[in-house]
Chain A
Amino acid sequence: MSTPTLQMQSVSFQHRGRSLLNRISGHLPTASLTSIIGPNGAGKSTLLRLLGGLLSASEGQILLDGAPILQLARLQRAQAIGWLGQFSAEDLPLSLAEYVMLGRRPYLGHFGQPSLEDQARVGAAMAAFDLSGLASRPWRRLSGGERQRAGLARLIAQDAPIWLLDEPTNHLDLKYQALLFGRLRAEAARGRTVVTVLHDLALAAQWSQEVLLLQGGRLLAQGPAKAVLQAERLSQAYGWPLEVWHDARGRWQMQAAEAA
């Protein structure tokens, strides 16, 4: 898989006179799992939207393989970048399989009929998150967790070389969180560039190869998880004392102090 590169070129974003992101530059490593972390209101989701070309930057730009992302044709962009946001539709008359098939929209266009290959991809995507048995279940009878997994299946079906996920662990229990990150890591190893917004620092530490730490619209630090997730730096970003240590099995543990 030849993965296109994503680059941020001193990107700023203002909304209603408020500066949400301030001159962020950097390179997102290809074929790895990157997490964007930071306190509430740091601009994590805004940055992810800019990376997906869903918002246009007030200044600077996002480059996809060196070309400004907003200048790409919509279908071309949708074939390069898969997006999974936090919004989950309430009332769809679709069955789960029909919903996952929407992931093939960038290839089918307005009138294309799903081919056997499209159907096979949708089947495999559903199987990846234990959804095969629910293929014909109507959307309104799915639970929150099942809908979240269906969104992930849609993302897999879209098969874009870059994945952007906003808080993908919402509604997922521990089993599916592990399944999700295992899958994301495996996809990264196969050459996909995966970027997630996470608020759970322990998950970010455990799974991601690269971490972007945002605070107040600024990029405080970027680098390998080990280098970025230092107690002192995190405490500064979150404005609250945090403790970071490794447990007996070498896992990252983080906890907020009970009082500042």
Chain B
Amino acid sequence: MPTVRAFWLQQTPSLPRLGGWPAWLVLGLATASLLVFALGFQGDGWQWPDLADPLVRSLRLPRILSALLVGAALAAAGAALQALFRNPMADPTLIGTSSGAALAVVCIMAFGWRALPLPLAAFGGSLLATWLLLALVRLVGGGSTGLLLMGLMLGSFGAAMTGMLLFLSDDLALRSAMTWLSGQLGSTTGAPLAWAAPVGIAGIALLLGLGRDLDCLLLGDEAAQGLGVHVERARLLTAVGAAMAIGAAVSVAGIIGFVGMMVPNACALLAGGGRRRLIALSATGGAAFLLLMDTLARGIAYPVNVPVGLLAGFVGPMFFVWLFRRKMGDSA
């Protein structure tokens, strides 16, 4: 019996690879026009943005900047984690690092340790989760599937703890944390951008610096060592950089899944190239993607503000299935 396959599950024809500057030009132009559109867009219409307008300046602009930061940080972290774990399906949400960050943030809120800035707490939680996962993967093994499963378990555990904390507390502030957790931009629960941006940008910068080492790590630990890479240090620094980026993103916008997996894979497929270039492309592409999603989220059920995380949750799983099938097809 012939197998029937959905059209989007079929192998993609090999796409032409975009060269150096055209890729950047296309991305840059797309982001810029999207930015202008988002600035002037309101659910019921569009007008040329007037920066003097307080609505534009103090509501839309911060929200747009948050979208750019969160998208860039998640995609850059995803690109780095995929090299670190040698698995194209590694994503901050799928492997539990986002949950670690969210748990830390909810802890801060629940126990009222407001003295500790949220992005730093989120960084700590995410770093802890990444380390735990690295240790678990070493201890248990199981290869590519083992990593995904253990990350999933770690994420579920973190989510369960978070849910328990939220459930047990009757504080109103924590109730609003629920909306924040589902991945929303422009809420007031999350960390202020001024705190999160430096942490996130520093994390992305650290990951960019590690680009060439990550390329070597993809060849296997021994080959990387043979090329002069300090493997343990490169791993540790990658975990730290990714945790900074993820911590910043989660503290601003809660858990937004799949951006960290979709964007780097799309970039690798379309443009390829070394990890540093891929991280930079992913950061730009992730910023543009999340801004697009958030602009859609603002308009789709206007005047209701749909969490952008929910919207990304629609697109992400389909992409994941496609990618998983592609990978399985390659190794078969």
Contact = CB atoms under 8 A, between A and B. Distances in A.
Interface of A: 49, 52-54, 74-75, 77-79, 81-85, 87, 89-95, 98, 102-103, 105-106, 108, 110-111, 136, 138, 140-141, 158
Interface stretch (B2-10, B132-140, B213-221, B301-309): B213-221
Given A74-B230, A94-B274, A85 B222 contact: yes
Contacts, number: 88
B42 interface: no
B61 to A, nearest CB: 34
Q: Determine the interface band of chain B, counting residues with CB < 8 A from chain A.
A: 20 to 34
B141 to A, nearest CB: 14
A89 B220 contact: yes
Given A89-B220, A110-B212, A78 B226 contact: yes
Determine which residue in B209, B269, B274 has the highest number of CB atoms from chain A within 10 A of its CB, and name it: B274
A209 B327 CA distance: 43
A83 B213 contact: no
B223 A106 contact: no
B228 A106 contact: yes
Determine which residue in B209, B226, B230, B327 has the highest number of CB atoms from chain A within 10 A of its CB, and name it: B226
B286 to A, nearest CB: 16
Contact of B88 (A52, A87, A91, A95): A91
B220 A87 contact: yes
A105 B230 contact: no
A102 B219 contact: yes
A87 B222 contact: yes
A230 to B, nearest CB: 33
Contact of A93 (B213, B220, B228, B272): B272
B330 A140 contact: yes
A14 to B, nearest CB: 19
Interface string B84-118: 00101000000000000000000000000000000
Contact of B215 (A52, A94, A140): A94
A241 to B, nearest CB: 35
Contact of A105 (B17, B212, B273): B212
A92 B330 CA distance: 12
Given A83-B222, A110-B209, A102 B227 contact: yes
Contact of B222 (A54, A82, A91, A105): A54
Tell me what chain A mostly uses at the interface: helix, strand, loop, or mixed.
Answer: mixed
Contacts of A138: 17, 272
B270 to A, nearest CB: 10
B14 interface: yes
Interface in B283-332: 327, 330-331
Nearest to B331: A90
B228 A141 contact: no
Contacts of A158: 227
Given A85-B226, A93-B269, 6 more contacts: A89-B218, A93-B272, A94-B272, A95-B272, A98-B273, A102-B227
B273 A54 contact: no
11 contacts: A49-B222, A53-B225, A54-B222, A77-B228, A79-B228, A89-B219, A90-B331, A91-B327, A92-B218, A93-B278, A136-B17
A75 B220 contact: no
A145 B330 CA distance: 16
A87 B272 contact: no
Nearest to A49: B222
B124 to A, nearest CB: 27
Nearest to B226: A83
Interface in B262-290: 268-269, 272-274, 278
Given A85-B222, A89-B219, A91-B330, A78 B272 contact: no
Nearest to A158: B227
A253 to B, nearest CB: 34
B229 interface: yes
A82 B212 contact: no
Given A93-B273, A93-B278, A87 B223 contact: yes
Determine which residue in A92, A93, A108 has the highest number of CB atoms from chain B within 10 A of its CB, and name it: A93
A54 B225 contact: yes
B268 A93 contact: yes
Given A90-B331, A93-B268, A141-B14, A103 B222 contact: no
A92 B217 CA distance: 11
A78 B274 CA distance: 20
A90 B213 CA distance: 17
Given A94-B274, A158-B227, A102 B330 contact: no
Nearest to A101: B274
A52 to B, nearest CB: 6
Given A54-B225, A83-B226, A91-B327, A105 B216 contact: yes
Nearest to A90: B331
A219 to B, nearest CB: 23
B228 A83 contact: no
A30 to B, nearest CB: 20
A98 B218 CA distance: 13
A108 B212 contact: yes
B279 to A, nearest CB: 11
A74 B272 contact: no
A15 B109 CA distance: 47
Nearest to A75: B228
